[in-house]
Structure 1
């Protein structure tokens, strides 16, 4: 077999192992080291260690030199260097800080007050509780970036309220599932930080580029909820005075000031300091983590147990992301050294695709990968395969990254592997069927496709803010 054929076999074995359910980070490292031993094998280096054996050498010395000869392969140097590269990556430093901010905010009892306030403030809108749930999900998802946490918590808070007010099961479930995924796209998104580290794109430009598409998607969701509630009032009956009582204007303003404003100010201060160049993403994440602690203290929700749990979850999630990077870097280095990337590039060139056709094919592949894999695995492992192909088609990696972030919304919403639906089903009342949840999330997949088409047709949705803040990209 030739080296490129071995590289393709390496990729095939990895995909096979993923579908068998092996841990992805350690599978990447194991396959990368195993095939890398072959790729970087140098008989001269190995025998230099063996030749130091003497006839009268003791057993321990013999074993030691044989072990040294076995490990005298550059793949082990590569693995150590890649590990150090990941750990010292300044962009990735922001991830544990943003995660810590999210976990602290999740435990600060802010979300229940925010939802109650928005339910009262929007009571005269069609689908009032749905609108309140969407806005709460958007803010909470932006603050945490953790889909499972947002869907689960909002399922516990908002879903019982909507069911109590006779909302259609599918309609209510779809709002929570779709709103919970918005943190993947809207800055300060952890996914965008991971993409920036994998692609080398400026994280501040990426945040600016993703802001308008994120707001467009929220606007589409909002429009869908209101229009459906107007066309079919039985989906979201208007609450009576007894169910959601009106409150005086002054009291409503105080409720907003004590529930909506603190979280909004925290998010805007973090995002604004990044976009306006007042702080690096890591510094802004530090501000956000400190702000989350202060919010928890202000809401009298800070306890040692909650702090310890937040630290533990932060360390666990950060370790997962970092080991994925180590495995991916090792795997991709060996794959490229064996000529795998060259084979893929030649194959794509032979298809004679236009840039639009390439984007559609790439996004379709990422969409399909979103069924069995998490977004972190897709961004760290598979997106780098597409990145070297972008210059061939004249596609900006900034534009590609925002498209991927939009596309990954669907990976949480598309049956049969819609993880948002499973998160919600896990805490929903027994009478809520999984098929009802699937029915509710499908229209939001259509909203995502509309947003992607709008980006194709009007790319300035992506490029206008980065160019306005930082000038044209060189």
Structure 2
């Protein structure tokens, strides 16, 4: 078996063990070290050294030296160096800070105020509760970037209100599930930070590139919600005065100022300081974390227990991401050393594909991987396989990253492994069936496909803001 074949065998075993349910980070590290020992093992040198020592040293000294030689393999140096590289990566430093900001905001009782305010403000719009829930999801998902937290909290808050207002079960469920995934794409996205670390693309340019696609997707969602509410009023009846009371204009302004403005200001301050070069992502994330704490104190929601929970969840999620990186870097280094990366490159070149065909194939693979895997595992493990192929097709990794971020929205909305649906089903009333939630996600899934098609047809949607802010 040649080294490239060993590399493909290594990749096949990894995929098989993932589907068996083994922890992915530790599987990557074990596979990388195991196959790396074979890749870097020099048997001839070890036996020559053993023969030399056998003639000049005692049996005990020669045996101990031979055993020491078994562990004198460069894979261990590689593993230590990769661990140090990941833990000292300045880009990844922003991950725990943004996560902490999100967990603090989640526990600050901001979302219920925000939904109530938007519900009153949009009362005269068709599908007003759906519009309010979707905008709340978008803002909250942007602030947290944690899909499960957004879907769960909005499912507890907005779903009962919509069902009480006689909204169709499927329609209401789809709004919550789709809105909760927007934090993957809209900055300050944790996913984009992880992609930047994996691809060496500027996180600042990625954030600028993601803004218009993110707003495009939110716009498509809103068009669908309002349009269907007009064409099919039975799925989203207009709320009565008892359900959403009329509020004087002055009172409405006060509600907006105390609920919408603080969270929006926090998000725009963090994002604006990054985009305009006033702060690095890490510095902006630090200010965001501090701003989240101040918001929690301002809303009288900060307790020692909530602070402790936020720190614990931040540490747990950050450790998962960092150890995934360590395992992925070790695995990919060995895979490349054995010639697997070169073999895949030759195979893809032999298919004689156009750039658009390669993009479609890559996005199809990522779409299918989204069924069994989390976005973090796809970005850290599988996306780096595609990155070396991008120069062959003259594809900008910035453009590829935004397409991947859009594509990963589908992994949370596509049955049978639509995680958003399962998050929502876990806290939804018993009358809301899982099949209804799946059905409600489908139209929003088509909105994602439409937004991806728009990116292909009009790539300036991605490149316009980075070029305006930072040049070519």
* Length-normalised TM-score, structure 1: 0.97
CA–CA separation in structure 2 for the residues paired with 1:406 and 1:152: 21
Pair 1:237–1:84, CA change in 2 (3 A): same
Q: How far is 1:455 from its partner?
A: 0.5
Residue of structure 1 equivalent to 2:40: 40
Q: CA contact under 8 A between 2:53 and 2:62: conserved in structure 1?
A: no
1:129-140 maps to which residues of 2 (within 5 A)? 129-140=129-140
The answer for the alignment partner of 1:85 in structure 2 is: 85
Segments of structure 1 that go 5 or more residues without pairing to the other structure are none
Question: Aligned with 1:326: secondary structure?
Answer: helix
The answer for the alignment partner of 1:252 in structure 2 is 252
Structure 2 counterpart of 1:192: 192
1:42 deviation in Å? 1.5
8 Å contact 1:45–1:73 — kept in the other structure?
no
Alignment match, 2:306? 306
Distance in 2 of aligned mates of 1:276 and 1:13:
46
Q: Deviations over 1:82-116 (max 9, x none)?
A: 00000010000000000000000000000011001
Alpha-carbon deviation of 1:66? 4.9
Alignment of 1:224-243 (within 5 A): 224-243=224-243
Shift in Å, 1:345: 0.6
Q: Deviations over 1:309-347 (max 9, x none)?
A: 100000000000000000000000000000001111111
1:91 partner SS: coil
- 3-state SS, counterpart of residue 413 of structure 2: coil
Deviation of 1:46 after TM superposition, in Å, equals 3.9
Matching residue of 1:55: 58
* In structure 1, distance between residues paired with 2:282 and 2:47: 47
Return the offset for 1:62: 7.7
Q: Does 1:271 align with 2:274?
A: no
- Output the CA distance in 1 between the equivalents of 2:379 and 2:48: 41
> Taking structure 1 as reference, are residues 388 and 122 closer, same or farther at Cα in structure 2, changes over 3 Å only?
same
State the Cα deviation string for residues 101-148 of structure 1 (Å, max 9, x = none): 000000000001100111011011000000000000000000000000
CA distance in 2, matches of 1:372, 1:380: 15
Distance in 2 separating the partners of 1:63 and 1:186: 60
Who is 1:213 aligned against? 213
Distance 1:469 1:307 in 2: 37
Separation in 2 of the partners of 1:49 and 1:111?
A: 68
Instruction: Give the C-alpha shift of residue 65 in structure 1.
Output: 4.0
Give the match for residue 339 of structure 2: 339
Shift of 1:456: 0.4
Report the CA distance shift for 1:45/1:90 in structure 2 as closer, same or farther (over 3 A).
Answer: farther
Q: Secondary structure at the match of 2:302?
A: coil
Q: Are the equivalent residues in 1 in contact too, given 2:91–2:282 (CA < 8 A)?
A: yes
- Displacement of 1:43 in angstroms is 2.6
In structure 2, the partner of 1:107 is 107
Query: 1:434, 1:65 → 2: CA distance?
Result: 62
Question: 1:43 and 1:450 mapped to 2: Cα distance?
Answer: 56
**CA RMSD of superposed structures (Å):** 1.3
Give distance in 2, aligned partners of 1:226 and 1:326.
Answer: 45
Tell me the SS of whatever aligns to 2:208. Answer: helix
Equivalent residues of 1:45, 1:69 under 8 A apart: no
The 1-side partners of 2:129 and 2:410 are apart by 24
Contact 2:355 2:393 in 1 (8 A): yes
Query: How far 1:69 moved relative to its partner?
Result: 1.9
The residue matched to 1:99 in structure 2 has which SS? helix
Secondary structure (helix, strand or coil) at the match of 1:86 reads: helix
Q: Please show how residues 5-84 of structure 1 align to structure 2 within 5 Å.
A: 5-43=5-43, 46-47=46-47, 54-55=57-58, 57=60, 65-84=65-84
In the TM superposition, what is the alpha-carbon distance from 1:70 to its structure 2 partner?
1.8
The within-5 A match list for 1:321-360 is 321-360=321-360
